[in-house]
Chain A
């Protein structure tokens, strides 16, 4: 988990809706994280946050994946310049 003051690198849960993001790393401390990686959230993958709420919907490779906010906190991302 990241401190709230971090801006350059943030978690997927804290990114804004519509932002294009690059995955930097996934904390390897839960089984869901391995599956998340296998679904395409590997290091350097580009994702776009499509929807934000109780859960997050992300777009990667043109597919949509819904992930819980708690899981989104395990994914470190950086913004990609438009």
Chain B
């Protein structure tokens, strides 16, 4: 097994239920020796890291996605199962599994342990949060637990670093014996399992586990299986029918058998202090935070605080990055001879890439808050609160989290849809997530609001900004409802959600996730934007005018970008836009935040950003052929609505392509969002004119 990397002596997978402290143990064991990538063929994140055994032998640790069972319900859980069954190409079947168990919730966590033991891979149980269990009045007899499970059990307190030395020792012990099969299935079921196992074209050590998983699948799930041929599926169905005829429900019997075994284990090893049914602090907090009125008050308050920080606290580092970007551009202009190279470096690359890097503080603050909400256990409560609203449009409360993330950036939002079990619901959430107003839309809103209402107070400006956010939110809900009724028709999913107890967040873990996400954002968005910036610069620069005394406006009109602006003018004229706005729309097709800098290039304003007064003055003074202003309040409002509803983000297109594994959905998304944006801007402009507005 350890052949993939010559230096590695063992491949170790770390598995466990969500919220059991699995990632904290992974981070503690591997430190910064981590690699983040993707499993080949699927979009689930693969986190691996190097750690060392008690004698310094290098081992590779794989952090599997959290799962409740090997009977999977989401893409994340499917990866965990496939790795453990050795089905994923490029990922060796682990030599050892560290199964992390939440000691304060032993019975439920032992269910996954029971399934792990059935896989015949050596298991080391990390009994985590023993301090919390003790605090709850539970006494765990370690000797009895080890004896009953038949595998090493190491007590750990991941948040305080307790038990890691013993855990390393247990994992590096050689050779670890395969675990005994613990849960006794009914004899009739066991006979069918063994008969089916013999027919499976898999390694003998996984055949029983694989057969058991097959026999406990629903009809629809069996139909969806692709890794086995029809004869296996038919054999499974026949076995299920024989079991049903003999009075054994193949779906529930293995679950009941495992819980019978768990009952025996806990009877011997777990002595409860009677705190289970007592009203805990978590219950008291839930009384408020899931209350039908106070729950909403708390939820809105927390969201308001998060957005306040995203849009105010982040402003300081954003200003610093902006200043650094300007200084770098000025330095380039001072040291590189005037010409195309200087223009490419200063305007194209530094301006373009800097325009994306500037959003990093907002992304980091978002992940800081998301980390706190996740770690404290509030995220499940937020999904619970939102479920009632989401179910009105046919979605699960879990769809709320990706939509919330999309307010900062659609990329992490779309990645967060992986926890949604139902494929259609996941697709609907992906399709509507970019309608949430992300931080890249902010510069457009700021410029347009300042143009529309130059004398407006901060409250009035905030009111318009809030209206744009609400427009996106309402559009997302309406479109989700339409998709669930038409293209992705399906029943509203039933709510089923674990509500983890409230805990103090792990600041180290949050910092590590912010670091990872920040790097990922810079790498993913930065590379795309860099390429786009160069392309955009070339489009607005070439071909050059034939006569040397051409004005910048004439040069722009002559460029490919200018010609594209002219070409789409008939299409955008009903929205009140001229060809120069057309250049802005074309230029920002791949990244909406580029609109402001493109308009800066169009109006020949150096260092244009959303706070640039010369740009606003130039845009305000811009006149049509008949002498009327181009940027009337209706045009500005229409442009904002256009940007609320339009896709205009190539990074999002790329991530949707990856997450859906298809070109159809991103292309469909571009088409429907662009159509929606055009209709929205048309209704605002033409409707406003009909009502007598300008």
Contact = CB atoms under 8 A, between A and B. Distances in A.
Contacts of A31: 73, 218, 220-221
A68 B494 contact: yes
Given A28-B252, A59-B276, A65 B496 contact: yes
A48 interface: yes
A35 to B, nearest CB: 6
A39 B68 contact: yes
Contacts of A28: 249, 251-252
B499 A40 contact: no
A9 interface: no
A67 B494 contact: yes
Contact of A50 (B68, B105, B283, B501): B283
Contacts of B496: 32, 35-36, 39, 65-68, 71
B541 to A, nearest CB: 56
B499 A64 contact: yes
Given A34-B216, A43-B256, A62 B105 contact: yes
A62 B71 CA distance: 23
A18 to B, nearest CB: 10
Contacts of A36: 496
Given A38-B69, A39-B498, A67-B495, A57 B218 contact: no
Contacts of A68: 387, 391, 494-496
B384 A66 contact: yes
Contact of B105 (A32, A42, A61): A61
Which interface residue of A26, A43, A68, A70 has the most chain B CB atoms within 10 A? A68
Nearest to A54: B388
Given A42-B259, A55-B387, A32 B68 contact: no
A68 B107 CA distance: 23
B282 interface: yes
Given A61-B108, A62-B105, A67-B494, A35 B73 contact: yes
Interface in A1-60: 20, 26, 28, 30-32, 34-40, 42-43, 45, 48, 50-51, 53-55, 57, 59-60
A63 interface: yes
A57 B500 CA distance: 12
A65 B498 contact: yes
Contacts of B388: 54-55
B111 A38 contact: yes
A43 B497 contact: no
A28 to B, nearest CB: 5
Contacts, number: 117
Contacts of A57: 286, 290, 384, 499
Contacts of A55: 384, 387-388, 495
Contacts of A64: 282-283, 286, 498-501
Interface string B246-265: 00010110011001000000
Contact of B494 (A32, A43, A54): A32
A45 B276 contact: no
Contact of A37 (B255, B493, B495, B501): B255
A60 to B, nearest CB: 8
B104 interface: yes
A34 B154 CA distance: 30
Classify chain A's interface size: 35 or more
B499 A45 contact: no
A67 B380 CA distance: 12
B276 A54 contact: no
A65 B498 CA distance: 4
Interface string B444-485: 000000000000000000000000000000000000000000
Nearest to B218: A31
A63 B494 contact: no
B499 A65 contact: yes
A26 B380 CA distance: 24
Contact of A34 (B71, B107, B108, B283): B71
A77 B140 CA distance: 30
B182 to A, nearest CB: 16
Contacts of A63: 105, 108, 498-501
Contacts of B497: 65-67
B275 interface: yes
A53 B287 CA distance: 12
Contacts of B286: 50-51, 57, 64
A81 B572 CA distance: 72
Contacts of B277: 20, 48, 59, 62
A48 B501 CA distance: 16
A48 to B, nearest CB: 6
B279 to A, nearest CB: 9
Which interface residue of A35, A43, A53, A63 has the most chain B CB atoms within 10 A? A63
B399 to A, nearest CB: 14
A40 B586 CA distance: 55
Interface string B374-391: 000000100010011001
A45 B69 CA distance: 18
Which interface residue of B104, B282, B286, B494 has the most chain A CB atoms within 10 A? B494
Given A35-B71, A51-B290, A57-B384, 17 more contacts: A30-B494, A31-B73, A32-B493, A34-B255, A38-B68, A42-B252, A42-B256, A54-B292, A57-B290, A60-B108, A62-B104, A62-B136, A62-B277, A65-B497, A67-B495, A68-B387, A71-B496
Interface of A: 20, 26, 28, 30-32, 34-40, 42-43, 45, 48, 50-51, 53-55, 57, 59-68, 70-71
Closest 5 CB pairs of A and B: A68-B495, A64-B499, A62-B276, A71-B494, A61-B107
7 contacts: A31-B73, A35-B69, A37-B256, A62-B104, A64-B283, A66-B384, A70-B494
